[in-house]
Amino acid sequence: MATQFTVVVVGGGISGLSVGWWLRKAGVDVCVLESEQEIGGTMKTIRKDGWLIETGPNSALETTPLVRTLANDLGIGDELVYGNDLANNRYVVRAGELHPLPVSPAAFVRSRLWTTGAKLRVLKEPFIGKAEKEESVAEFVIRRLGRELLDYAVNPFVAGVFAGNPEELSVQAAFPKLYALEQNYGGLIRGQILGARERKRRSERAKDRARLFAFRDGMQTLPRAVAKALGPRVRTGAEVHRIRGRSDATTGYVVEGVREGATFEIHAESVIVAIPSFRATPLVEPFDISLARALRDISYPPVAEVFVGLRESDVKRELDGFGFLVPEKEHREILGTIWSSSLFPGRAPRGYVALTTFLGGSRQPEVLRRSDQELIDTVLRELRELIQADGTPVEARVVRWERAIPQYRLGYSQVLNQLQAFENRWPGWFFSGNYRGGISVSDCIINSDTLARRAIEYLRSRQVELQHQ
């Protein structure tokens, strides 16, 4: 059966749903198609016997006021919860022990996470010039801050955010704000000071100042609220197989797929493809084989998220923070652990703690070959050594992402240029998703706002054109 919408969004993760919402808010006749029965993509929440288990993001940084705008628009503003003061305590493992990441220059000087030589090396940073070529995150950090800061700050951080490897990621593409500090201010320390003023003007927050947010009932609250607000405009269980240019008009597209065993066709002026790049590949192939290959080749290393619930009395270490990250140099089997129940209320029943551990990534993709029980055992072994957690878990769950997070590797700007060139060539077709413009939940929300504006601008320009015909 053929239907018609002005804009069809393919993908019901946070990228697709939020662009759907921004468009609807502007009065656009939009529909969102999601292949799974449940919306949210990676952003899903499981509630069980007093435990709150996230399958993907546990929280996000509120780097933009759009998060609050979106929540208020959807009537879930009062469900936003912010990490308590403990959220600022983050630990990094060195020689098997947890060291707090310093949050002030004085704490940096006192810290036992780095040697005196490494700290003195940082003092040179303001006097180091700009790079002449594209650099990996590792090259950038070694040049500006020295090897030890790479090994015991940036390496675990990159594993925590991208599940990635700083040797492979492009600093320009993966950490554009960091790169911009060097480009715009000549250095990180100088940029940190001068950039604060500009951010204040734009009412943005630096990542290190932004508040950590989640939703009282879990991160899926947000996609669910968008779906509720859009009502029948969101169609779950609708897998898109093909997009083709419309034959009865000079522009516009026909989106084809299957829902509940029946094929469908939707005609649209504009189509927004908001799915992982490897799933977009077959849709792009008939139009542009070279872009299709580039999208297929973006690496998404696997990640396992292992949730364990323990009795509070079984954990000897005080869980007074966000959690800890593990540098590669430590040769351990996990990337890090979030102390979920320390940050937000309602994550564990009273008297229990909820811990979420990440394994795999670019560092150890082979870890995902282990069975669920082996992964749980690995986590328990590591937690025993690092935070003196003993006892049998009262709750344990493994979530596997065979292709978790896109890696913005060296040369990534070529992919971005190809995407832009495609959009120029096929007016009304737009790409969205976490492989473009940032992987965090907040970045996805910011990018979908920008994209909605671009789509609206396109629609307006097209109406003008139509009137002239």
Ligand X SMILES: Cc1cc2nc3c(=O)[nH]c(=O)nc-3n(C[C@H](O)[C@H](O)[C@H](O)COP(=O)(O)OP(=O)(O)OC[C@H]3O[C@@H](n4cnc5c(N)ncnc54)[C@H](O)[C@@H]3O)c2cc1C
Residue 13 lies near ligand X (rule: CB under 6 A):
yes
- For ligand X, the closer of residues 13 and 100 by Cβ is 13
Of the two residues 122 and 219, which places its CB atom closer to ligand X in the complex? 219
Q: What is the DSSP track for 164-195?
A: --TTTBBHHHH-HHHHHHHHHHSSHHHHHHHH
CB 169 → ligand X: shortest distance, Å? Answer: 15
Query: x/- string (CB under 6 A) for ligand X, residues 206-245?
Result: ---------------------------------xx-----
440 near ligand X, judged by CB under 6 A: yes
Whole-angstrom Cα distance, residue 274 to residue 255? 13
Q: Is 29 in a helix, a strand, or coil?
A: coil
Task: Report the alpha-carbon distance of residue 60 to residue 80 in Å, rounded.
Answer: 11
- Whole-angstrom distance, CA of residue 281 vs CA of residue 317: 47
Q: Counting contacts by CB under 6 A, is residue 62 touching ligand X? A: no
155 near ligand X (CB under 6 A): no
What sign for the dihedral angle of Cα 103, 407, 227, 52? Answer: negative
Cβ at position 318, least distance to ligand X in Å: 23
From the list 99-107, 165-173, 347-355, 433-441, the region that binds ligand X by CB under 6 A is 433-441
Instruction: Give the DSSP per-residue string, 320-345.
Output: -SSEEE--GGG--S-SEEE-HHHHST
Q: Is residue 36 part of the contact set for ligand X (CB under 6 A)?
A: yes
Strand 336-338 relative to strand 323-325: parallel, antiparallel, unpaired?
antiparallel
Measured between alpha carbons, how far is residue 364 from residues 55, 155, 218 in Å?
A: 20, 14, 28
Question: Are the C-beta atoms of residues 60 and 442 closer than 8 Å to each other?
Answer: yes
- Name which of 461, 430, 427, 466 is nearest 448 in CA terms: 430
Interaction with ligand X in 291-310: which residues (CB under 6 A)? Answer: 303, 305
Only segment of 269-277, 288-296, 316-324, 376-384 that touches ligand X (CB under 6 A) = 269-277
Tokens 């077959």 locate to 282
Q: Looking at 128-136, 244-252, 270-278, 461-469, which segment touches ligand X (CB under 6 A)?
A: 270-278
* CA proximity to 153, closest of 161, 333, 361, 343: 161
Identity of the residue, 280 or 383, whose beta carbon is nearer to ligand X in the bound complex: 280
Binding region for ligand X (CB under 6 A) out of 112-120, 367-375, 439-447, 453-461:
439-447
User: Using CB under 6 A, which of 6, 7, 21, 34 touches ligand X?
Assistant: 34
**Per CB under 6 A, which region of 119-127, 225-233, 321-329, 399-407 contacts ligand X?**
399-407
Please say which residue, 56 or 191, places its beta carbon nearer to ligand X: 56
**Dihedral sign from CA coordinates of 361, 367, 371, 374:** negative
Q: Judged by CB under 6 A, does residue 404 bind ligand X? A: yes
Residue 439 binds ligand X, judged by CB under 6 A: yes
Q: Quick one: which H or E segment has residue 27?
A: none
Token reading at 107: 């704490």
Residue closer to ligand X (CB basis): 42 or 136: 42
Contact between 60 and ligand X by CB under 6 A: the answer reads yes
State in angstroms the smallest separation of the CB of 116 from ligand X. 34
User: Residue 12, interface with ligand X (CB under 6 A)?
Assistant: yes
* Residue count (the chain): 469
7 binds ligand X (CB under 6 A): no
Tokens standing for 362?
A: 């670019």
H/E segment holding residue 223: helix 221-230
Under the binding rule (CB under 6 A), the answer on residue 70 touching ligand X is no
Stretch of 37-45, 81-89, 134-142, 451-459 lying at the interface with ligand X (CB under 6 A): 37-45
Contact between 45 and ligand X per CB under 6 A: no
Smallest distance, ligand X to C-beta of residue 300, A: 9
Residues whose CB falls within 8 Å of the CB of residue 216, separated by 6 or more in sequence, listed in order:
79, 80, 81, 344, 345, 346
Q: Which is nearer to ligand X, 160 or 195 (CB)?
A: 160
How many chain residues bind ligand X (CB under 6 A)? 36
The window from 93-101, 275-283, 364-372, 383-391 that contacts ligand X (CB under 6 A) reads: 275-283
Q: What is the DSSP letter of 101?
A: P
DSSP 49-93: TTEEEESS-S-EE--STHHHHHHHHTT-GGGEEE--GGGG-EEEE
For residue 168, state whether it binds ligand X (rule: CB under 6 A): no
For binding to ligand X (CB under 6 A), which residues are involved? 10-16, 33-36, 41-43, 56-60, 239-240, 274-276, 279, 303, 305, 401, 404-405, 433-434, 439-441, 444
